[in-house]
Structure 1
Amino acid sequence: MPTQRSEDRRLRRRTILASALILIVIPATIMAGVFLLNDRKYYFISLLIVLYTMIPFAFVFEHRKPQARELIVIAVLAAIAVAGRAAFFMLPQFKPVVAIVMIAGVSLGAEAGFLVGAMAGFASNFFFGQGPWTPWQMFCFGIIGFLAGILFRKGLLKKTKLSLCVFGGCSTFIVYGGIINIGSVLMYTPQFSWEALLAAYISGFWFDMVHAVATVFFLFILSRPMLEKLDRIKTKYGLIEP
């Protein structure tokens, strides 16, 4: 019992650190890139986000060295997200990235979910085009994976299709759409105004809706087989536990 309580405290500290970096440090870094660097150093900001993401992820292995096969699973999920985004390039906003990032967060933990999302956003933009929007997309993809991992850990998100699809659709529309529209206003208008933000939300409504529908669609198809395969891999090889 004392060992279990100690384990719980250790996970809580790790989660608090990750939350501080993801919810405070990363947004502050993005804002610094916008207002101090005039959105011209987006590669630098993107690499900083990747670095910040690696810090809490490293705490997953605080009592042992990470095995190559554990890191390969993370890399493969990020690659699948990148390939999925590229495969549907002809359909604006209809992408499986959020679905795959959520699956990573639920199966491998919140830190892994954010890492997969951030890496997928960064790597896929070598195909779609890097720009000041890259850090925003990295953060939006990552935060949904992080939230999925946290809510699953708390028991508020289940591995059922209904639970995943409802959360996926709502988070894509509200979280991703809500944040990326703020980024659009800061990127494309000389001065922030509430009128410009409202216009961005109105003009982006259908894009956000298509993105949310796509997330629900891909979660409905992919969630069960991918989660089952990841669970078998974790059991067989003793991989990362959320």
Structure 2
Amino acid sequence: MVRFRFPLLIVLGLFVAGLALTSALKDRHYMLLSLVLLAVALLPLFIRLERRPLESRELVLLAVLSAVAAVSRIPFAALPSVKPVSAIVILSAYVFGAEAGFIIGAVAALVSNIYFGQGPWTPWQMFAWGMVGLTAGWLRNTWWMKKKGGMLAFGFVWGFLFGWIMNIWYLISLPDAFSWGLVAAAYASSFYLDLAHALSNVFFLAVLAGGWTKVLKRFRKKYGLLQE
């Protein structure tokens, strides 16, 4: 297990270091940083190449799932924080593991912002959705993730965690001096948006979990995709 987690821990550390740079870069070079972090997110794939050949259909699968997650934001553009992206990332990671979950989450954020608009928030969204997939993949064999109620609870919690991660970017971007009162105000003002995200995760997971996981598991078993 440690052998498979170590590359992801390296990627996570590099992502955190990249996000730390945003405090210095502010609005400059955010697109370059996003592309660098995208390359970092793909690092587990290159490490996997050392363990066994990576089949082209596995790359296609990751690309398709990333595209589906990205495009799923567009129909709900008018509803802030109500997006099926997190649910798709969670279910993909549940079937294919933490590596795939992290990559799909990070790529979906970058690609979907081609429509929604790139900005200094993009690397933070890549990190947040990547972490959704990473943790879902790490916990997929636990008893609570194997129960539908446990998976719904996981999605609900991540609705808030996602917003809390994005609040860090918001606080960094403010020109005002740091204060705990400002932190409290930022997190309080985002509560209803975070709640909407959490509830939408529960809804989309409840709708998609059964059929989505069955289809993905069938593909994985039939074609031997992304086996550890």
TM interval, shorter chain, is over 0.9
Distance in 1, Cα, partners of 2:54 & 2:94: 19
Q: Any conservation in 2 of the 1:119–1:138 contact (CA below 8 Å)?
A: yes
Give the match for residue 3 of structure 1: none
Q: Any conservation in 1 of the 2:107–2:126 contact (CA below 8 Å)?
A: yes
- The reply on whether 1:58 has 2:46 as its aligned counterpart is yes
Distance in 2, Cα, partners of 1:171 & 1:92: 16
Q: Any conservation in 2 of the 1:98–1:141 contact (CA below 8 Å)?
A: yes
* Partner SS, residue 135 of structure 1: helix
User: What pairs up with 1:12-91 in 2 under 5 angstroms?
Assistant: 12-22=2-12, 24-35=13-24, 37-91=25-79
Distance in 2, Cα, partners of 1:205 & 1:164: 22
Long gaps (5+) in structure 2:
none
Give the match for residue 177 of structure 2: 191
1:156 Cα offset (Å): 4.8
1:201 pairs with one of 182, 187, 190: 187
Letter in 2 for 1:218: F
Going from structure 1 to structure 2, the CA distance change for 1:146 and 1:157 (only over 3 Å counts) comes to farther
Long gaps (5+) in structure 1:
1-10
Distance in 2, Cα, partners of 1:190 & 1:44: 26
Distance in 2, Cα, partners of 1:64 & 1:13: 14
Q: Any conservation in 2 of the 1:113–1:146 contact (CA below 8 Å)?
A: yes
Distance in 2, Cα, partners of 1:14 & 1:52: 16
TM, length-normalised to structure 1 = 0.89
Going from structure 1 to structure 2, the CA distance change for 1:156 and 1:69 (only over 3 Å counts) comes to same
Give the match for residue 170 of structure 1: 157
- The reply on whether 1:111 has 2:99 as its aligned counterpart is yes
TM, length-normalised to structure 2 = 0.94
Distance in 1, Cα, partners of 2:210 & 2:152: 11
Letter in 2 for 1:235: K
1:190 Cα offset (Å): 3.7
What is the count of residue pairs matched by the alignment?
Answer: 228
Q: Any conservation in 1 of the 2:26–2:173 contact (CA below 8 Å)?
A: no
Q: Any conservation in 2 of the 1:181–1:200 contact (CA below 8 Å)?
A: yes
Give the match for residue 8 of structure 1: none
Distance in 2, Cα, partners of 1:73 & 1:218: 21
Distance in 2, Cα, partners of 1:181 & 1:197: 9
Q: RMSD value over aligned CA atoms?
A: 1.5
